[in-house]
Chain A
Amino acid sequence: AQSVTQLGSHVSVSEGALVLLRCNYSSSVPPYLFWYVQYPNQGLQLLLKYTSAATLVKGINGFEAEFKKSETSFHLTKPSAHMSDAAEYFCAVLPTNAGKSTFGDGTTLTVKP
């Protein structure tokens, strides 16, 4: 069984500030981990994924995430927020023995001018 916890349902940052969205997971088998972004009334777009290669994963739009097994975390960061980053972000875990993904409840990112 697996689960995902996203700490903070709402995060607000100023434009140009660091973005940090937190994700902790639990999984009975080594997991694959994902971050998705969802814009209003849109589907989910994959930002990045961890599949047991490098622990620091770079994604689209300047985002990156670091897999820390000891902390069971996969936090998403971006050095400098842009207005267009305002959206909802979901962390998801997929067990490596395949099957369904489990999603966190999401974090809404607001970027202030």
Chain B
Amino acid sequence: NAGVMQNPRHLVRRRGQEARLRCSPMKGHSHVYWYRQLPEEGLKFMVYLQKENIIDESGMPKERFSAEFPKEGPSILRIQQVVRGDSAAYFCASSRDTGDTEAFFGQGTRLTVV
């Protein structure tokens, strides 16, 4: 039973490019959460999605960031026109349902903007 799969593990983008981060939840999980970890900081919630629905995006920056979790395929976190301050580790977690007390985390995607 594969865990939460994130790819790529490392991503380098030049300022102004787009970054696409993918997250495949665990089998049977329909809830996905994205978190960002800036250097020397804890994890900050970004967005919570179910299949085809954004449930809570209160942690998403207002501009350049978007997320989706289509009916088929992985969840995508998209960052347009990246800036140096976007450099961070982005973690995805998944859970079975709303009442599930445990979310399982992926290995993260480390984005470096040069």
Q: Which of A12-20, A37-45, A75-83 lines the interface with chain B?
A: A37-45
| Contact of B101 with A94 in the complex, beta carbons under 8 Å | yes
Q: How far does the alpha carbon of A43 sit from the alpha carbon of B103 in the complex, in Å? A: 12
With contact pairs A44-B91, A99-B48, A99-B56 given, residues A105 and B103 touching in the complex (Cβ less than 8 Å):
no
Report A-chain residues with C-beta under 8 Å of the C-beta of B103.
Answer: 101
Partner of A106 from B33, B41, B45, B59 at Cβ < 8 Å: B41
Interface size class, chain A:
20 to 34
A-B pair count, CB < 8 Å, reads 49
Closest B residue, CB atoms, query A46: B102
| Contact of A49 with B56 in the complex, beta carbons under 8 Å | no
Partner of B99 from A46, A49, A90, A98 at Cβ < 8 Å: A98
Q: Considering only CB atoms and an 8 Å cut-off, how many residues of chain B contact the other chain?
A: 23
| Contact of A100 with B56 in the complex, beta carbons under 8 Å | yes
| Contact of B108 with A100 in the complex, beta carbons under 8 Å | no
| Contact of A100 with B48 in the complex, beta carbons under 8 Å | yes
The proximity string for A residues 36-76 relative to B, scoring 1 for CB distances below 8 Å and 0 otherwise, is 10000111111001010000000000000000000000000
The proximity string for B residues 83-96 relative to A, scoring 1 for CB distances below 8 Å and 0 otherwise, is 00000000101000
> Which secondary structure dominates chain A's binding surface?
strand
| Contact of A90 with B43 in the complex, beta carbons under 8 Å | yes
Report B-chain residues with C-beta under 8 Å of the C-beta of A103.
Answer: 35, 42-45
Q: How far does the alpha carbon of A103 sit from the alpha carbon of B46 in the complex, in Å? A: 12
| Contact of B45 with A102 in the complex, beta carbons under 8 Å | yes
The proximity string for A residues 16-42 relative to B, scoring 1 for CB distances below 8 Å and 0 otherwise, is 000000000000000010101000011
The proximity string for A residues 95-113 relative to B, scoring 1 for CB distances below 8 Å and 0 otherwise, is 0001111111110000000
| Contact of A105 with B42 in the complex, beta carbons under 8 Å | yes
Q: How far does the alpha carbon of A105 sit from the alpha carbon of B37 in the complex, in Å? A: 10
Q: B residues bordering A, Cβ < 8 Å?
A: 33, 35, 41-45, 48, 56, 59, 91, 93, 98-99, 101-108, 110
**3 tightest A-B contacts by CB?**
A105-B42, A98-B98, A43-B107
Told that A99-B56, A100-B45, A101-B33 touch, could you supply 6 new A-B pairs with CB distance under 8 A? A43-B105, A51-B101, A103-B42, A103-B43, A103-B44, A104-B42
